[in-house]
Amino acid sequence: MLTEKDYKAIRKELDECQRPLFLFDDDPDGLSSFLLFYRYKREGKGIIVKTHPKLDTSLIPKVEEYEPDKIFILDVPVVEQEFIDQCKRPVIWVDHHTPSQLNGVKYFNPRVSTPDEHEPTSSLCYNVVKQDLWLAAAGTIGDWFILPLLDDFKKEYPKLLPKEYKQAPDVLFNSKLGTLIRIFSFILKGTTHDAMKYIKVLTRVADPMEILDQQTAQGKFVYKRFEKINRKYEDLLEAAIAQNKKGEYLIYTYEADKMSFSSDLSNELIYRYPEKIIFVGRKKAGFVKGSVRSAKKVISTVLEKALVGIEGYGGGHELACGFCVNEEDFDRFVENFKREND
Ligand SMILES: [Mn+2]
């Protein structure tokens, strides 16, 4: 875990800079982490790291262009040593993924001292700045964690949570906080340029109701963008649900040139159909890239075996994996999976 001393040290780093650059992961936890720090500091610039999961030297030109006096890396799982070396500025990295050991970076990760603790980055950032609890609530549930801070959030915004909830999906798919998280997830889609336009406006939002009830011009602007992307999502979800037949599997592929919805779709489908194994794949440039989900059966080892003899790769967690296979191999890949799973 991180200690009060760690939080103070990070706050001091924030206080003692004029032109910080924040590089953050492109999911609701990463976005919330950035918003928490930026709204505290009221200075600097944010950049989404779209090269998930790795931050490499391809972002160096953007660093040079902005000329920051300090760099904060938030919620990015992997950073190349080469990137740190070429930054030539103090780098502070706050994260909760598998710990790394790099030179020349001030590293704050609760798993270094407590390997089983995965407290999301937005919760760590909230402990540093102690303001905008709603952003920490969005970021942590967005990473599928229910933390005690949610009880405080509930006192402040009782209407944004379901009456009862046991697990993160109960909040994600059945509450206004869940909608807010989806808004965060969807405005990150598309080009970095587009996403940053909406994120800039988000930094001026002080209360979630501004967005959810479209109470201010800023909130309305963000919500309109969400609605536009959400229409595409709802169409795909409906088409995926139409594929639901008897049997253990729900398999859905779609074509979309600019935005991927595979992980959003597979998460919602496994919540709706917990007895199934879900395959969602997006066809693009001769490949099918997508997600596999299961609520009970371990699929990571099955996936590994199913990829033998297939052009492609895949992997992930026990119940949630990603894959990318040649489009011609997709059917055979699914058949392999079914065979290995029997
Ligand atoms: Mn995270």
Mention every residue, 6+ apart, whose C-beta is less than 8 A from residue 44. Answer: 17, 19, 20, 21, 22, 38, 68
Q: What pLDDT score does 51 carry?
A: 80
CA 272–ligand 1 middle distance (angstroms): 24
Contact 71, 47 (CB under 8 A): no
Nearest to 15 by CA among 85, 73, 92: 92
pLDDT digits (tens, 9 = 90+) for 199-212: 999 999 999 999 99
pLDDT digits (tens, 9 = 90+) for 59-107: 999 999 999 999 999 999 999 999 999 999 999 999 999 899 999 999 9
CA 159–ligand 1 middle distance (angstroms): 25
CA 63–ligand 1 middle distance (angstroms): 23
CA 141–ligand 1 middle distance (angstroms): 10
Architecture of the domain whose range is 4-228: Alpha-Beta Complex (3.90)
Backbone Cα Rg of the chain = 20
CA 264–ligand 1 middle distance (angstroms): 16
CA 339–ligand 1 middle distance (angstroms): 34
Q: What pLDDT score does 244 carry?
A: 86
pLDDT digits (tens, 9 = 90+) for 158-169: 999 999 999 999
Q: Indicate the domain borders of the chain.
A: 4-228, 245-341
pLDDT digits (tens, 9 = 90+) for 231-262: 999 999 999 999 888 999 999 999 987 889 99
> In this structure, which topology does domain 245-341 adopt according to CATH?
Diaminopimelate Epimerase; Chain A, domain 1 (3.10.310)
Report the C-alpha gap between 184 and 142 in whole angstroms. Answer: 9
CA distances from 147 to 2, 97, 108, 137, 222 (A): 15, 17, 19, 8, 27
Which backbone phi and psi does 255 adopt, to 5 degrees?
-115, 130
